[in-house]
Chains A and B, each alone.
Chain A
């Protein structure tokens, strides 16, 4: 039973524009969410997180928005850069155990 879903397997965006990645979750017990970025043949690296007591967290070009009532979160990357081309995983948790989505592959076009 997949508790975190990323319904868009891929996203193509022009360099300099905004990338918006979406994630939905079903477990209402989740109170902490994370985004990881992964390049091919490498392990995921932590990008940004958000606690359920907030609805927005910003770190440089990356902003995560959380809508608890809709059980939805999104990651905004502004402006998108070629180095942002990677797979992005959303994860939710209420303890040590992370539940991951299937990932969204972002391709930034020059």
Chain B
């Protein structure tokens, strides 16, 4: 069954706006990863998180590993046209030794 719930599924924003997306689960995670996929390309790693409460930035991107270890969020500040794409969360479930992916958040930016 579905183990990761990523929301929203799609976003339509204006250039310059901030963006927030998250992934939640009923399972406990040891690792959270955030990937971005451009059209016609494979996913590229943006941020990796390994500890509960960890807050990590990569330029205008910030991601956090939730304190409960059941969720993570990704924020993008001051969006620009090249931020368009599909953002995926992925996580390693404690004790399950497998990587599960969210359904993705499709980001569209109006100039």
Do A and B make up one complex? no
